[in-house]
């Protein structure tokens, strides 16, 4: 097949995961080619040019939804509109950061003037570092209260761009799994007719909204996991293996635009959040992903959103359990 490149080669050349390539294809940004005698996705030169444009725009933090708008429109009006809006967003963030810097400097000036022989001043410093709102309630602050209120507003606005973290406990459950296979094969296995048959017979028990419960990756490979009833046998799940999923504590966060870059941002957010808690990552278990809405099952929702939402579960444990 001349002038066509395998998905694995594209992934390696552009340092982008097969999962991300498939996502861009689902969103209508690129198109792969297949033949009856070749099961892998293949990409031509026109597709690679589009992919290069996508990767550049993503580096500029342009959303997949806006990239699709750009590709769907002839001319430069939309791309200029999107980039000008991005400049405005950056200007707004820079202004907030400058304001935050000024407020912090105001706190520094106040602290320099404090008398640390006084218990109230020492408590002021401690409470300001730990929790500004609490210190306002319990300590007589002689500085500018308007600055403190504005600090809360500024930091909230800066933080809203990153998803919050919550903790859940997933119970143990019986499941069948595809086992670890290459990323270039995992999504074809995920749509295997056997899983549809199991669901129709009432033997699968989706934890969330339907379809596969979890996807996880390890050593450059990936696996699907479906929860099943106690009545399901290996004859029902063949050729997939039945396992006992151990469950446990997980942080939960949402990755908007389900590509690798968005996942990395969530992982970074989770790492920063862990620094403020008594939890650490449990390296004996894998990070899990669950796609809440898919193109196959929820086309209207996907059309309305214009992007994917991947729920990411990071395994955690108490530090004292180490």
Measure the CA–CA gap between 213 and 176, rounded to whole angstroms.
Answer: 10
140 preceded by cis ω (within 30°)? no
Q: State the CATH class of domain 166-321.
A: alpha beta
| Chain region(s) in the chain for CATH 3.20.80.10 | 166-321
Please name the residue that has the structure tokens 């530090």: 319
Measure the CA–CA gap between 129 and 135, rounded to whole angstroms.
Answer: 9
Under CATH, what is the fold of the domain 5-71? Multidrug-efflux Transporter Regulator; Chain: A; Domain 2 (1.10.1660)
Q: Which ranges constitute the DSSP H helices of the chain?
A: 7-14, 18-26, 45-59, 64-71, 77-112, 119-130, 132-138, 145-159, 183-190, 193-200, 234-237, 260-274, 299-305
Structure tokens, 73: 């429109």
| Chain region(s) in the chain for CATH 1.10.1660.10 | 5-71
At 68, give phi and psi (nearest 5°): -65, -40
Q: What is the pLDDT at residue 211?
A: 54
Q: What is the pLDDT at residue 48?
A: 92
DSSP structure string for 196-233: HHHHHTT-B--SSSSS-SEEEEETTEEEEEEEB-TT--
Q: How far, in Å, are 98, 164, 227, 270, 321 from residue 151 at the CA level?
A: 11, 19, 46, 23, 37
> Which of helix, strand or coil describes residue 73?
coil
pLDDT lower than 70: segments of the chain: 1-2, 35-39, 110-111, 114-163, 190-197, 200, 206-212, 256-261, 292-298, 321-322
Q: What is the pLDDT at residue 84?
A: 92
> Around Cβ 206, how many Cβ atoms within 10 Å?
13
Q: What is the pLDDT at residue 230?
A: 86
Are the C-beta atoms of 114 and 121 separated by less than 8 Å?
Answer: yes
Q: What is the pLDDT at residue 256?
A: 67
Q: What is the pLDDT at residue 161?
A: 47
At 110, give phi and psi (nearest 5°): -65, -40
Are the C-beta atoms of 307 and 257 separated by less than 8 Å?
Answer: yes
Structure tokens, 247: 């469950």
Residue 289 pairs in a beta bridge with: 215, 312
Cα R_g (the chain), whole angstroms: 25
Measure the CA–CA gap between 136 and 145, rounded to whole angstroms.
Answer: 9
pTM above threshold 0.75: no
Establish how many alpha carbons lie within 13 A of residue 220's alpha carbon, considering only the half-sphere containing its beta carbon.
4
Q: What is the pLDDT at residue 117?
A: 63
Are the C-beta atoms of 122 and 116 separated by less than 8 Å?
Answer: yes
């Amino acid at each position: 097949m001349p002038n066509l490149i395998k998905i694995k080669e594209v992934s390696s050349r552009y340092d982008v995961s097969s999962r991300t390539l498939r996502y861009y294809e689902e969103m209508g940004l690129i198109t792969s080619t297949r033949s009856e005698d070749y099961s892998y996705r293949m990409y031509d030169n026109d597709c690679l040019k589009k992919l290069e444009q996508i990767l550049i725009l993503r580096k500029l933090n342009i959303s997949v939804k806006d990239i699709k708008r750009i590709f769907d429109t002839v001319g430069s009006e939309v791309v200029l509109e999107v980039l000008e809006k991005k400049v405005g967003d950056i200007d707004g963030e820079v202004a907030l950061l400058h304001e935050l810097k000024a407020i912090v400097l105001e706190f520094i000036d106040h602290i320099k003037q404090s008398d640390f022989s006084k218990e109230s001043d020492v408590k002021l410093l401690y409470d300001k570092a730990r929790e500004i709102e609490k210190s306002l309630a319990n300590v007589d602050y002689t500085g500018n209260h308007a600055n403190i209120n504005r600090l809360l507003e500024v930091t909230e606005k800066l933080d809203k761009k990153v998803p919050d973290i919550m903790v859940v406990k997933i119970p143990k459950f019986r499941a069948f799994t595809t086992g670890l296979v290459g990323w270039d094969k995992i999504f074809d296995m995920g749509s295997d007719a056997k899983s549809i048959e199991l669901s129709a017979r009432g033997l699968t028990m989706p934890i969330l909204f339907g379809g596969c419960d979890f996807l996880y990756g390890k050593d450059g490979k990936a696996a699907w996991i479906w929860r099943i009833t106690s009545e399901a046998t290996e004859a029902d799940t063949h050729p997939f293996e039945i396992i006992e999923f151990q469950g446990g504590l997980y942080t939960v966060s949402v990755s908007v635009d389900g590509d690798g870059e968005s996942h990395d941002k969530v992982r970074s957010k989770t790492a920063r959040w862990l620094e403020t808690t008594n939890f650490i990552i449990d390296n004996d278990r894998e990070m899990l992903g669950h796609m809440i809405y898919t193109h196959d099952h929820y086309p209207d929702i996907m059309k309305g959103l214009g992007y994917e939402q991947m729920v990411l579960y990071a395994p955690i444990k108490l530090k004292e359990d180490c």
